[in-house]
Amino acid sequence: MLASIPKALRPPRTGPMVAALALLLLLSTAPPAVAQVTQGEFAERRAALLYATEARVGLAISNPTSRQGHLPFQYLAGVIETDAVLLFVREGDGVTSTIFVPEGLGRERGALPLVGVDGAPFRPGDGTRGQAPEVRSLEELTDTLGPLLDLVDRVALVGVSDFAAGGSARGPEVVGALLEGREELEIVRANGQVNQMRAIKSPAELQLIRRAVEITEAAHRELLNHIRPGVTEADLKVVIDSVFRAMGADARPAFGHIVASAENSTILHYRGGERVLNDGEHVKIDIGAQVHGYAADVTRTYPVNGRFSPELRDIYEIVRAAQARAEELAAEGAPRAEQSRAADLVLGEGLTRLGLMEGPGATYDCAQRGGGMGECPQLRIHYFHSLGHGIGLNVHDPTPGTMEVGSAISIEPGIYLRPGFLDDLPDTPRNRALLERIGAAYERYEGIGVRIEDNHIMTPEGLVWISRAPREIDEIEAAMAAAARERAGR
């Protein structure tokens, strides 16, 4: 980005923190308009849930104690209020919807405190035929819902399952009191059905995800202009924040930035950030912007001096090959477990070639949770997370077991050579023999952690890679070399 700014306007040759702040000022133009999830789409979701559960009445209760638990409510209601109850009722061929909130919220149209999922004030409608829900006081819920419950034999319930676990929120308490003692009423816990709906994204949702990924990709590209010996992990986080803000991302990222250098890179979700990056080291950067609540999740691993060492190159090439194999198999209808098995095989074969495993299917003696010893795959010494996950309203969003059109996923293999890990293996004859065979190789690669994570969507034409920040070794080295020349020429 800075390379496209005239030299007279560029920041001076200072640390990345100052440069990033200058970048924010230079790029602070109005972000492009992005898609909106319309009130009509929210209404269709509510109608679809009633149809799926064969219920006439649906209740979605916000969850103030858990963002993950709150998302089903948000997905149906279109607001992020954490003390609210959404009532939606099938009447004829339509559905009417009302949000009940504590007295004072959402009552004055001129100054609405309710916030929509796009961050703008929520403007109520009349709750019918694709309109936004009506907003009423929680005090009116009893008189509204009570008579309805006398007329139906089934209710679809979304949100909190323990009505006493809502903390200071009043919504769960009111609903719990209304449902108590109605033994003839079937309560369908519908969080699972909502998660199934969330697993397949609408066109509007996919556009929001694409925009979040676009912003995240831009941050990765800008980081290539700043990574070098002498900067800190914290400096690089400032660059990320500046790009996110300048390009119109939500104030809150999808998750806390992970900027992990040297042996910190072997920690899956490292949350530190003050370490100075040194020549010959590497840095793993796992970040995700959020746009109207929809998340991106993109990881790259970069050499600090711009050149991959032989050891880093060895590990990186294995991880990239595993990711490529998983991408090849990600066809519509393909089981995601098949992709995972294929990636595991590529990782295992590569680690075996480097002397870090005895074979792709080899095992070692590991302690079991209930006590005693068992067998664990040697691959899990170096790779101990899933191949990927869905992305959407949550950075780990529901996803179908097979690739379906409308799926939005990440693919993120990794290898982590944790310092001292082999010393902590159970002392058994089998493990001692294993250490004899792989100990020297482990010492050579110890402290290297590599993860490559990309975001994809499944379309009728096939899998589309949407997080196109440089990921091949030659691309990364070329971009970092160009950045170094640019700095030298200022």
Q: What is the pLDDT of residue 69?
A: 79
pLDDT at 165: 58
Least confident of 13-17, 200-204, 207-211: 13-17
Using pLDDT thresholds of 50, 70 and 90, give the confidence band for residue 111. Answer: very low
Work out the average pLDDT over 256-276.
Answer: 94
Is residue 353 pLDDT above 60, yes or no? Answer: yes
Residue 80 has pLDDT above 70, yes or no: yes
pLDDT value of position 168: 63
pLDDT reported for residue 403:
95
Q: What is the mean pLDDT of residues 132-138?
A: 91
Task: Kindly report the pTM of this predicted structure.
Answer: 0.91
Is 191 in contact with 159 (CB distance < 8 Å)? yes
Centre a 10 Å sphere on the Cβ of residue 31 and count the other Cβ atoms it contains. Answer: 15
What CATH class does 203-488 carry? alpha beta
> Looking at residue 6, what is its pLDDT?
30
Whether the CB-CB separation of 153 and 55 falls below 8 Å is answered with: no
Work out the burial of residue 458: count CB atoms within 10 Å of its CB; fewer than 13 is exposed, 13-18 middle, 19 or more buried.
Answer: buried
What's the confidence (pLDDT) of residue 117?
A: 74
pLDDT greater at residue 348 or residue 1 = 348
For residues 147-165, give the mean pLDDT: 86
Q: What is the pLDDT of residue 323?
A: 98
- The DSSP 8-state label assigned to residue 31 in this structure reads P
Q: Which DSSP string corresponds to 375-403?
A: EEETHHHH--S-SEEE-SSSTTB---SB-
The identity of residue 384, as a single letter, is F
Instruction: Round to whole Å and give the CA distance between 220 and 316.
Output: 17
Evaluate if residue 248 carries a pLDDT over 50: yes
pLDDT at 108 over 50: no
Q: 25: Cβ–Cβ under 8 A, 6 or more apart, which residues?
A: none
**What pLDDT digit, counting tens, does each position of 34-77 carry?**
778 999 999 999 999 999 999 999 999 988 777 777 899 999 99
pLDDT band at residue 109, thresholds of 50, 70 and 90? Answer: very low
- Distance of alpha carbon 327 from alpha carbon 343, whole angstroms: 9
Matching residue, tokens 């790259």: 300
In this prediction, residues 110-139 reach a mean pLDDT of 75
The CA distances from residue 10 to 4, 25, 224, in Å, are 10, 11, 16
- pLDDT of residue 215 exceeding 90: yes
Q: Give CATH 3.40.350.10 domain extents, the chain.
A: 39-198
Select 39-198's CATH number: 3.40.1350.10, 3.30.950.10, 3.40.350.10, 3.40.50.970: 3.40.350.10
The answer, yes or no, to whether residue 447 has pLDDT greater than 70, is yes
Residue 167: per-residue pLDDT: 60
Q: What is the mean pLDDT of the chain?
A: 89
Higher model confidence: residue 171 or residue 103? Answer: 171
Whether residue 469 has pLDDT greater than 90 = yes
Higher pLDDT, 13 or 85: 85
Residue span(s) of the chain under CATH 3.90.230.10 come to 203-488
Q: Residue 369: how many CB atoms within 10 A of its CB?
A: 6
Residue 382 pairs in a beta bridge with none
